[in-house]
Amino acid sequence: MSNATFNGKKAYNNMDAVFYPNSVAIIGARTDSERELKTGWVGKLTRFDYKGKIYPINPKAKEILGHRAYPTIGDVPDPVEYAIITVNRNLVANAVKECISKRVKTIHIYTGGFSEVGTEEGIALEKELKEIIENCDCRVIGPNCLGVYSPSGGPSFDPGLPKEPGSIYSISQTGVGSRRLIRLAMGKGLLFKKAVSFGNSIDLGANDFLEDALQDSDVNLVFLYLEGISEGQRFFNILRKCAEQKPVVLLKAGMSEAGKNAVASHTASIAGDKQVWEALFKQTGAIKVQTLEEAVEQMIALQTIRPLKGRGVGLIGRGGGLGVIATDMCESVGLKVPQLGKKTRKSLEKIIPASFGSTVGNPVEIGLGHTGISEQYVDGLEIVASDPQIDCLISFLNPADYIHFGFEGWAEDTINAMKKAKGIINKPIALVFLPGLNSEVFATVVEIQRKLFEHGIGCFSSMDTAIKAIGKMADYYEIIAD
Amino acid sequence: MSNATFNGKKAYNNMDAVFYPNSVAIIGARTDSERELKTGWVGKLTRFDYKGKIYPINPKAKEILGHRAYPTIGDVPDPVEYAIITVNRNLVANAVKECISKRVKTIHIYTGGFSEVGTEEGIALEKELKEIIENCDCRVIGPNCLGVYSPSGGPSFDPGLPKEPGSIYSISQTGVGSRRLIRLAMGKGLLFKKAVSFGNSIDLGANDFLEDALQDSDVNLVFLYLEGISEGQRFFNILRKCAEQKPVVLLKAGMSEAGKNAVASHTASIAGDKQVWEALFKQTGAIKVQTLEEAVEQMIALQTIRPLKGRGVGLIGRGGGLGVIATDMCESVGLKVPQLGKKTRKSLEKIIPASFGSTVGNPVEIGLGHTGISEQYVDGLEIVASDPQIDCLISFLNPADYIHFGFEGWAEDTINAMKKAKGIINKPIALVFLPGLNSEVFATVVEIQRKLFEHGIGCFSSMDTAIKAIGKMADYYEIIAD
C-alpha cells in the first residue's frame, strides 16, 4: 500500500500494526477481575487466546488477570504497538496524548459519547481528539467502536469468534452490527480474514480499510456497512476498483430521511443523498443489501456459486405452491424460470410419472418425501442441470416434512446426495432449507449447512433470500463484465 | 349461508358436512397397516383422534387399524357423510360415482394427476369428473389437494396439528403450502378454526370458503392462498365484504409470467393479469403477502396489534447500526420514525446518560445488555410510548448477546418485563428477536414467543418482517376506514 493512501502519514505503510500487533495495552482495564474477564478487553484478549503481550493500564492495580498492570502507558518498559482506550470520555484525550508520547502505532478508542450523542460537550470532545492526533505518527480507530477482529494472530472484539482465518474482510461503522454479522456468518461456516468496526472515524475510515482489502490477496470478498463517507471521489474510485476484483457487499444505512437523522446520532456521519448512492451502486458494481441477514445470504452465494453464465434457474422441490411462489420471486429479481426442453421433460417423466400428480415443467416436483432422498433426487437435479436453458439450480427441501413423515437419517442422506450431485453436476446448485419452528430440525439444519458449505455447496435460510442473492450475483457479473 | 353461494345446490346449506362430518370413509385405504398408520388417511384420522366413525374401503381387507373395512363404500351399512378418495387417478371417477350413489355429503378427492399435469389424459379425466358431479347433491373438494383441517371435531390432513381450535380460517389452493403455513403459525401460538386445501377445485372453491369465513363468527382473520379464481365478480364482492369485517391476508401466486405457467401445471388455474390483481388488493383491502413466512408474521401482527391510530413508530433496542437499518425499513413501508419531543428526550436522558454513548432520539438505545433487563427497559418503553408522535413501539432484542455476556435468566426476565410493559403501556408493542444460529437460543426464543403471544404480545422473527407487517396493517386500516 502506498503512503498516499494513509493521508500522508509515513510512520508505517501497511495495516500490520492494526491487524497483527505484537502487544496491546488496555487503558482503563478494570480491577474487578471477574467483571474484566467477562466483559473487559483484558478478558476478551485472554479468552480469545491472543498471543502477543497484554499490558493492563490502571493506577490502582498491580496485576489484572495474570498480566502485570501499569499506572500509565508511559510506565510500560517495552514498546506498545496497539492501545485500546476504554476510560470515561473525559479522560480519553489525555489517554490519547500518552499513547502518542509512547509512540503507540495503533490507538483504538472504544469509548463513546462524542459527536454521535449530538451534545455540545460530545462534539467539543471529539474536536479536541482530532486536534491531538493531527500531526502524530499513529493511526486511530474510533471513537465509539468495537475495533478489530483479526483471527490471524491479532486482537478480537468478541472472544467467541472463530480463531481460524478465512477470506472475507468486514468493514463496518457499527459495532453491534459488525459482531452480529460475523456471528451469523460463522454459524453458516463463513470465515473472515479481518474485520473492523471504526465508529466515528476521526482517522482511519472505510477508504483506508477498503484499500487494504483490495491489496490483501487472501481476501476474496468484502462486506461494507456504511452510514456516511468522507472523500467521496476517493471512495468511489477505490470501491469500483475493489468491486472489479472481488465482490463488495454494501449495506448503506441511512438511505431514508429518518434514517439520516438516525445516522447522525449513531456515528455522527452525513448520510448523503439516496439518488447519489443508488447511482454509485450501479456504477461500481457494489452489491446492495438492506439487512445483515441478507448480507450473510449474499456472502454464502458469492462464496459457493461461481459466476453465472445466464439467468435461467431450474427450481426443484416438492410442493407445487411453493414452486409457484419461488417462480414469482425469481422473475421479480430478474431471473428466469424457463420451460424445460422436450428432451429434459421426457427424461424427467421417466423418474416422475405424470400420474403421481407431480410436475416436470419448471418448477420440477422432486425431492425428499415419503421415500427419502433417493437416487431419483440426484438424477432429477442432473437432468434439470443438463437443460441448455438452465444456468443454476435452486432446490428447496422441507425438513419439517421429513420429521412429519418419520423419515429418519434425512440429514446424512441430504449431505450424501448433495455431495454426489456436486460431483456430477457442472452448474451451480443452491440449496434452501425452508424455515420451521422445530428446534431439533433447526439444530440439524445448521449442522448440515456448515458441512455442505465445506464442500462448496451454499445453503440458504429461505427461498426469498436465496433468490434475491442469486439475482444480485447475476447483476454483479453483468456490471463488472461491461 | 344462502343456497346461492352453493352454486344452486340444495342438498345442505352450510359447511357442516365439510368441517364437522360425523363419519369418514377412506376409499383406497392400504392393507399395509404400518404404512397406512404412518402416511395413510386412516392413520391420519386415528392419530388426530378423530371422534367420528371411520370406514376404510378396500376389497382386500377385513379390518384396517382396528376399523372394519368394506369392499366398496356402497357396502357400508350406515350413512357416510364424508369420503376421501385416494385411489389411482384412473379409478377416481368410479369411486366418485359410488359416493354419489351412497349419498355422501362431501367428497374429498386427494388423488392428483388430472388437469394440473397438462397431459391430454389428465385433462380428460378431470373433465369426466366434472360431468359426473354436475347434477349430484354432494359437494366436492379437489382433486389434487390435502382437504380439510378442522380441529373442532373434524378430520385433519396432518395429525400433528393442534387439536385446539382458534380464530383463523385458512383457504388454500396448495396443499404442502397450507400444511407448512399452519405448522409455522402454530409454532408461534396461532390457532385455526378451519383450514382447507382445495387444489384443482372442480366444485368447492375459494369463493365458497370465503363466504363461510365471512359468516363464521368465531373467525376473525382469514388467510387465502390463491393461484387463480373463477367467477371474478363474485370473488371481488365477497373479498371486499369479508375484508371490511375481518382482515384477509392474501398470497396470490402466479403474478409473474413464468409464475402463470407454474400455476397452470400446479392446479391448472388461470393466474390472471398482474395489474388486475394489484388493483383488487387496493380496492378490497386484502393484505398482500408474497411468502408463507411473511403471511405468518402478518397474522401475528393482526392478532396482537390493535388498529393503529397513526404511522409513528418508536424504535427501541441496543445497537445503533441496527436502529438505522430499522429506520430505513420503516420509511420504505410508509411508517414514520419521528424525532421524539423535548420532554420525552429529557425523561430518557435521566435513565440513559449521554456519556454512555447511547442515543435518546428515535431509535432509542435501551434494552437488555450487560446489566440485564432492568426496570430501566420497561421505563424506557413507557417514556417512548408517552410521546404523542408515537403510535406503536417496535423493540428489538438480541438474544445471542445475552448468551455472549453470560446473562442468565434472560428468557424469564424478558417475559416478565414484557408482561409488565403490556400492563402499563396503552399503545401496541411489537417485539423482535433478532435471528441467530445458536440452537439453544432458538429453542428459548420459540418458547418465549409462544408465551408472550398468549399475553397478546406479538413477537417477530426479524426487523424486516415485523416492520413490513406493521406497515401493511397501517395501510389496511386506512383502506377500510375509507
The residue-averaged pLDDT of A65-70 equals 96
Q: How many angstroms separate the CA of residue A352 from the nearest CA in chain B?
A: 11
Question: Looking at CA atoms only, how far is residue B87 from chain A in angstroms?
Answer: 11
Phi, then psi, of B305 in degrees rounded to 5: -105, 125
Residue among B113, B358, B370 whose CB faces A356 most closely:
B113
Tell me which of B111-125, B287-301, B364-378 is least confident. Answer: B364-378
Summarised one tens digit per residue, pLDDT across range B209-219 is 999 999 999 99
| Nearest-CA distance A125 → chain B (Å) | 11
Distance CA B69, CA B77 (A): 11
| pLDDT confidence bin for B3, thresholds 50/70/90 | very low
Q: Which three cell numbers stand for residue B234?
A: 363474485
A275 close to B (CB below 8 A): no
Closest CA relative to residue A376, chosen from A409, A404, A397, A347: A347
At residue A8, the pLDDT reads 39
- Choose the weakest-confidence range: A240-254, B342-356, B384-398: B342-356
Distance CA A466, CA B4 (A): 45
**CB within 8 Å: A160 and B322:** no
Q: Which residue has the higher pLDDT, A39 or A93?
A: A93
Please give the full DSSP string across A112-165, using - where no structure is assigned: --SGGG--HHHHHHHHHHHHHHTT-SSEEE-SSS-EEE-TTTS-BS-TTS-SS-
pLDDT of res. A372:
52
Task: Please give the C-alpha separations between residue A304 and each of A191, A333, A457, in angstroms, as whole numbers.
Answer: 13, 20, 6
* Closest CA in chain A for residue B225: A321
pLDDT at A407: 73
Is A2 within 8 Å of chain B by CB? no
**Over 60: is that where the pLDDT of A395 sits?**
yes
Q: What is the mean pLDDT of chain B?
A: 89
- Pick the range with the lowest mean pLDDT from A164-178, A320-334, B394-408, B439-453: B394-408
Q: Which residues of B touch A291 (CB under 8 A)?
A: 325, 329, 462-464
pLDDT band at A354 (very low <50, low <70, confident <90, very high): low
Which of A84-93, A399-408, B351-360 is modeled with the greatest confidence?
A84-93
Across A205-209, B34-38, B339-343, least confident range = B34-38
Using the CB atoms, write b or e for A393-426: b if 16+ within 10 Å.
Answer: bbbbbbbbbbbbeebeebbebbbebbebbbeebe
φ, ψ of residue B205 in degrees (nearest 5):
-145, -170
At B394, list the grid cell.
Answer: 417496535
Q: Is A228's Cβ below 8 Å from some Cβ in B?
A: no
What average pLDDT does this structure show over A445-465? Answer: 91
Find cell 378431470 and name the residue.
Answer: B126
For residue A93, the one-letter residue type is A
Q: Please indicate if any CB of chain A lies within 8 Å of the CB of B372.
A: no
Find the mean pLDDT for residues B74-89. 97
Number of neighbouring beta carbons within 10 Å of residue B279: 12
Neighbour-count burial for A191-226, b at 16+ CB within 10 Å, e otherwise: bbbbbbbbbbbbbbbbbbbbbbbbebeebbbbbbbb
Contact yes or no for A119/B354 (Cβ under 8 A): yes
Q: Does domain A306-481 have CATH number 3.40.50.1860?
A: no
Q: Is the pLDDT of residue A200 over 90?
A: yes
Residue B1: what pLDDT? 34
Inter-chain Cβ pairs, chain A and chain B, closer than 8 A? 280
DSSP letter at A311 equals S
| Mean pLDDT on A282-304 | 95
Sheet with A429-433, strands from edge to edge, namely: A313-317, A392-397, A429-433, A458-460
Which residues does chain A have within 8 Å of residue B173's beta carbon, measured at their own beta carbons?
Answer: 321
Map grid coordinates 377385513 to a residue: B62
- In the predicted model, what is the mean pLDDT of residues A220-228? 94
What is the band of A403 on the pLDDT scale with cuts at 50, 70, 90? confident
Residue A377 has pLDDT above 70, yes or no: yes
> Would the ipTM clear 0.90, i.e. be above it?
no
Specify the range with the lowest mean pLDDT, choosing from A5-14, A112-121, A197-206, A434-443: A5-14
Q: Which residues contact A1 (CB under 8 A, 6 or more apart)?
A: A13, A14, A15, A211, A212, A215
pLDDT surpasses 90 at A394: yes
Positions of E strands within B47-183: 53-57, 63-64, 67-68, 82-85, 106-109, 139-141, 147-149, 168-172
Residue B94: phi and psi, rounded to 5, are -65, -40
8 A C-beta contact, residue B396 and residue B326? yes
Closest CB to A321 among B177, B328, B355:
B177
Centre a 10 Å sphere on the Cβ of residue B349 and count the other Cβ atoms it contains.
14
Which of the residue ranges A11-15, B137-141, B431-435 would you say has the lowest mean pLDDT? Answer: A11-15
Of A305-314, A434-443, B401-410, give the range with the top mean pLDDT: A305-314
> Considering chain A, what percentage of its residues have pLDDT values greater than 70?
93
Q: Which residue has the cell 467502536?
A: A145
- Let me know if the fold of A3-21+81-299 is the same as that of A306-481: yes
How many Å lie between the alpha carbon of A337 and the closest alpha carbon of chain B? 6
Spatial distance between the Cα atoms of A239 and A235, rounded to a whole number of angstroms: 6
How would you classify residue A44: left for phi > 0, otherwise alpha for psi between -120 and 50, otherwise beta?
alpha
Closest listed residue to residue A172, CA positions, set A155, A192, A186: A192
Find the distance separating the first CA and the last CA of chain A, reported in whole Å. Answer: 27
Tell me the mean pLDDT in the region A347-355.
75
Helix (H, G, I), strand (E, B) or coil at B288: strand
- Dihedral, B378, B384, B387, B390 alpha carbons, nearest 10: -110
Q: For residue B265, what is the nearest residue in chain A, using CA coordinates? A: A359
Express each pLDDT in A136-154 by its tens digit: 989 999 999 999 999 998 8
* Assigned C-alpha cell, B89: 387417478
Q: What's the rounded Cα separation, in Å, for the pair B410 and B400?
A: 11
A358 contact residues in B (CB cutoff 8 A): 112, 117
pLDDT at A231: 86
| pLDDT band at residue A368 using 50, 70 and 90 as cut-offs | low
**B89 neighbourhood in chain A, CB within 8 Å:** 355, 357
Which among A379, A347, A336 is positioned nearest to A470, based on CA atoms? A336
Residue window 92-151, chain B: list those with CB within 8 Å of chain A. Answer: 111-114, 116-119, 121-122, 144
| Å between A4 CA and nearest CA of chain B | 30
Please report, for residues B120, B137, B139, the alpha-carbon distance to residue B6 in angstroms, rounded to integers and kept in the order given: 30, 11, 9
pLDDT of residue A9: 41
Q: Which of A437, A441, A448, A459 to mutate to test the interface with B (most CBs of B within 10 A)?
A: A437
Confidence bin at B8 (pLDDT 50/70/90): very low
Rounded average pLDDT over B67-96: 97
Query: Cβ contact (<8 Å) for B321 and A404?
Result: no
Cell 405448522 maps to which residue?
A: B183
Cα-only R_g, chain A: 25
The pTM (predicted TM-score) of the whole model is 0.88
Assign A359 a pLDDT band (cuts: 50, 70, 90).
low
Question: Domain residue spans in chain A?
Answer: 3-21+81-299, 306-481
Residues in chain B: 482
Cβ of A174 within 8 Å of Cβ of B320? The answer is yes
pLDDT computed for residue B11 by the predictor: 38
For the record, the C-alpha cell of A187 comes out as: 454459524
Asked whether the predicted pLDDT for residue A356 surpasses 60, the reply is: no
Question: Which residue in B39, B263, B436 is closest to A184 by CB distance?
Answer: B436
Distance from CA of B20 to the nearest CA of A (A): 24
Any idea which architecture B3-21+81-299 has in CATH?
A: 3-Layer(aba) Sandwich (3.40)
Cross-chain Cβ contact B39/A117 below 8 Å? no
Shortest alpha-carbon distance between residue A17 and chain B (Å): 27
Residue A434 has what DSSP assignment?
-
Question: What are B309's three cell numbers?
Answer: 391510530
Residue A386 has pLDDT above 90, yes or no: yes
Q: Report the residue from A114, A172, A356 with minimal CB separation from B112.
A: A356
Q: What is the CA radius of gyration of chain B?
A: 25
Whether the pLDDT of residue A371 is over 70: the answer is: no
- Give the C-alpha separation, B226 to B214, whole Å: 17
